[in-house]
Structure 1
Amino acid sequence: MRKGLLALVLALGTVWVHGEKVHGEGMARRLVVADGKAPVVYVLDLEEGKEVARFSVPSLARLYPLPGGQYALAVHRDSGHLSFIWSGLRLVNHGDHQDLRLEAPYVAATLATGPKPTHAFAHGHHLAVFHDGDGTVALFDLRRLGLDWRYRQVATGRPDHGALALLGERLLVGGLESGRVEVYTLEGQKALTLPEACPRLHGEAVLEGVAVFGCQDGVLLVEGVGQGVRARKLPNPPRSPEGARVGTLVALEEAGVFVGNFGQGLAVIRLGEGLKPLPLPARPLRFLAEEGKGVLVLTAEGRLHRVDPLKGEVGPGFPVATPPAQGAPSPALAVGHGVAYVADPAQGAVVEVDLEGFQVKRRLPVGGAPAALALLEVEGMEH
């Protein structure tokens, strides 16, 4: 009976059952925004385009959407805190489907985890946050969010500017100053230090059992092999522009490649072929994967470009944000299914981009200086 009802709902869009209005299955979105000048985080309901919650936080925040689409992580480097923001997008399991309930967002927890938390990495069931001030890593089990806010503290023994990756049951910790990658178990025990050097290590991504870290002279690939790991270096190509290096990375699952920044352009990294530069009209400020195949790039000119890294094609793009002034908050980018959002701090606005038509759909005047975004999306049956 229920499966037949579900098929009817999806076919007709809206029906009445026992006096209750049932909508078809759909996607709900909320956007978490952090101001770049004031310690404030707020949540936008994107269907109505309005603010539904606003919170004072310990200090300025970097934002990360967490797997599952229900929580955003706010990292407060200056105060040494982490905040977990509940989106209000609740899913209730009904066996053959999940009901979607829209609730009021709130700050689920604010934790003092260590000095100068900066970079975070979430994958599978775990979240890792590196503290630059003492080199510790806070390791969370994402399955316990909302139930238990305890975390494991992993000590690396020294302050550094850390980069993290979760590779199966291993925690990889790289350091900008050390130029090395260390391997830890998820219980916090150090397994080994990889001998391969990665000078000025910064940036990471994981794809198909391989982690990539950006280095001053190329990228370092770390692959899980049985119970251990092995690493190899891909150097920067000959005649690379002076000062060009990979320092930020994204993984494109469907395309099977990594993409990183590289001077006034991008670097396309194929595991069996090496690193290939892809020029852009201007320096990339932000870039994220689009549905796993292509890349959306926000350049320093404030233009949004669609890039096909496999074909080496860069679209002409269009203006979406004010180019940032020296020392001012930079625009931010978030990408979802068929839609992207750009924070324009100079104009106090969030811009919504329709990716199917590749054009601005609307501008949301939020005020202040929006400078960090986390887009949260869930699918469920609305009643």
Structure 2
Amino acid sequence: MRVRIRTTSPPSVLLAVALLAAGCASGDPTRPTPGPAASAAPHGYVEGATEAAEQQSRLLLGDPRTGETRVLDLTTGKTHGTARRTGVTGLTTDGRFGYFHGPQGTHVLDGGTWTVDHGDHVHYYRATIRDVGELPGGPGTHIRGDSGTTVVTGPGGQASVYRRADLEQGTIGRSVGLPGIYAGPVVPDGERLIALTRDGRGPARAVVLDRDGKRVAVTHGTCEDPRGDAVTRRGVVFGCADGALLVTDTDGGYTAVRIPYGDDVPEDERATAFRHRPGGTVLTAPAGKNAVWVLDVTGRAWTRVGTGPVVAANTAGEGAPLLVLQADGALHGYDVATGKETAVTAPLLNRLPQAPAGRNTAPVIEVDRSRAYLNDPQGKRVYEIDYNDGLRVARTLELDIRPSLMAETGR
């Protein structure tokens, strides 16, 4: 079906979809070695995929009340119906696959779009949307993935590794259990896994594992009461009682750096659930009821921005505004350096209660390189926001379900 699109400016030009010449060598260790006929395929290519000239973003959407799910293609404006998922309580993504979390397990949906970033150039792909299967784990299960590995960490701290290549072929595949118990999600980082482990009653310590779970490095970094994690270009970030712990690969050796708040922060004002543009180095998190934390990973510094009642927050990164959905239903933009409000929309959603950090069905703000997306469950719509143009509403994407859950793929 096709969504109805209302624009406040001329409609955006649809992104071109074209095969591009491969511009890099084919030695990616995270994918099977291609046969002779596929030797010219670029990094990140998967059989049946099409390379595109621009980013191919799609929104995965779900209504926990009815179990209805949709995939909204932001390039074509079309929605694709997918199987009903009853009992879904949350939705996360690794950039390609959507993970619909439920009471008994997690359903995996291939969103069919992804980006492979090589630093000096980027590949964009699109493929068929399809159901993959079920991963184990109920409430409290964390799933983290990258181009080679998907790791499922259960609420008890046990973790299992799945091959990304199997998911790309439409099957869950076999898992490899990691030895030990972990104090938070095990996070893939290239050929390594970054984890927090606890020996005795002391704080958790950051360790580096290979994909079989063997320890290859133990850092000096510790993290008291870890909650929240994020992957950035500078390394993996864990939220801790006194700030954050950054685990980064420097010339082949991993180091852990503490980024403290600088002041004592009450527990209810800690940053415990990060949101950011994928790959970006500026993170956001609620700082209690009326403020937002902004963590500059590159500068290794926290900034607390007073905003008023916070429902959701995000940012595109350095130089971009801090985006905050507040209880008045409007989207507000703030300059992080000064803390001043720079723009505000008319109320887009009905007046909202403040959402506790980590609440899975509250509206969210998804951010990519040029646009932000805000879901309006009551209005059965998604707003596309040009955050570089005074928070202009570029498109209103109307739906036939209440999109209480939303995640963006293709980034």
- Answer whether TM exceeds 0.5 for this pair: yes
Question: In the alignment, which residue of structure 1 is the partner of 2:402?
Answer: 369
- Out of 375, 382, 386, which is 1:354 matched to? 386
SS in 2 for 1:200: coil
- Out of 117, 126, 130, which is 1:106 matched to? 130
Say if 2:336 is the partner of 1:305.
no
Q: Give 1:38's aligned amino acid.
A: T
Counterpart Cα distance in 1 of 2:236 and 2:267: 26
Q: Are the aligned partners of 1:39 and 1:61 in contact in 2 as well (CA < 8 Å)?
A: no
Question: In the alignment, which residue of structure 1 is the partner of 2:371?
Answer: 339
**How many residues of Structure 1 are paired with residues of Structure 2 in the alignment?**
346
Question: In the alignment, which residue of structure 1 is the partner of 2:314?
Answer: 287
Q: More strand by proportion, 1 or 2?
A: 1
RMSD of the alignment, in Å? 4.1
C-alpha deviation, 1:265, in angstroms: 1.8
Question: In the alignment, which residue of structure 2 is the partner of 1:6?
Answer: none
Counterpart Cα distance in 2 of 1:157 and 1:364: 46
Counterpart Cα distance in 1 of 2:325 and 2:270: 18
SS in 2 for 1:163: coil
Alignment deviations for residues 138-184 of structure 1 (CA, whole Å, 9 cap, x no partner): 34325861265325433354486x23433343212237998513432
C-alpha deviation, 1:214, in angstroms: 0.7
Question: In the alignment, which residue of structure 2 is the partner of 1:140?
Answer: 163
Matches within 5 A, 1:144-155: 145-146=168-169, 149-155=172-178
Alignment deviations for residues 169-202 of structure 1 (CA, whole Å, 9 cap, x no partner): 3212237998513432112224466554422211
Question: In the alignment, which residue of structure 2 is the partner of 1:186?
Answer: 211
C-alpha deviation, 1:281, in angstroms: 2.8
Relative distance call for 1:123 and 1:230 in structure 2 (3 A) is: same
C-alpha deviation, 1:56, in angstroms: 1.4
Q: Are the aligned partners of 1:167 and 1:224 in contact in 2 as well (CA < 8 Å)?
A: no
Relative distance call for 1:26 and 1:286 in structure 2 (3 A) is: same
Matches within 5 A, 1:1-383: 28-46=56-74, 49-57=77-85, 59-60=87-88, 62-67=90-95, 71-87=96-112, 105-107=129-131, 109-116=132-139, 118-133=141-156, 135-141=158-164, 145-146=168-169, 149-155=172-178, 157-158=180-181, 162-174=184-196, 179-180=203-204, 181-191=206-216, 194=219, 196-225=221-250, 228-238=253-263, 240=265, 243-250=268-275, 257-263=282-288, 264-271=291-298, 274-289=301-316, 293-310=320-337, 312-318=339-345, 319-325=347-353, 329-357=361-389, 358-377=391-410
C-alpha deviation, 1:343, in angstroms: 1.4
Question: In the alignment, which residue of structure 2 is the partner of 1:3?
Answer: none
Relative distance call for 1:44 and 1:353 in structure 2 (3 A) is: same
Counterpart Cα distance in 2 of 1:100 and 1:197: 39
Counterpart Cα distance in 1 of 2:382 and 2:282: 30
Q: Give 1:349's aligned amino acid.
A: R
Question: In the alignment, which residue of structure 1 is the partner of 2:21?
Answer: none
Question: In the alignment, which residue of structure 2 is the partner of 1:94?
Answer: none
Counterpart Cα distance in 1 of 2:86 and 2:212: 29
Alignment deviations for residues 207-260 of structure 1 (CA, whole Å, 9 cap, x no partner): 344322111221112233455433232322226467321212356799854444
Q: Are the aligned partners of 1:127 and 1:142 in contact in 2 as well (CA < 8 Å)?
A: no
Q: Give 1:185's aligned amino acid.
A: D
SS in 2 for 1:243: helix
State the TM-score, normalizing by the size of structure 2.
0.68
State the TM-score, normalizing by the size of structure 1.
0.72
Alignment deviations for residues 351-373 of structure 1 (CA, whole Å, 9 cap, x no partner): 23234532223433434431222
Aligned-residue identity in percent: 22
Please list every run of 5 or more consecutive structure 1 residues that lacks an aligned counterpart in the other structure. Answer: 1-12, 15-23, 91-97, 379-383
C-alpha deviation, 1:270, in angstroms: 4.6
Q: Are the aligned partners of 1:287 and 1:296 in contact in 2 as well (CA < 8 Å)?
A: yes
Relative distance call for 1:28 and 1:227 in structure 2 (3 A) is: closer
Q: Give 1:169's aligned amino acid.
A: E
C-alpha deviation, 1:342, in angstroms: 1.4
Q: Are the aligned partners of 1:118 and 1:131 in contact in 2 as well (CA < 8 Å)?
A: yes
Counterpart Cα distance in 2 of 1:170 and 1:102: 27
Q: Give 1:121's aligned amino acid.
A: R
Counterpart Cα distance in 2 of 1:101 and 1:137: 28
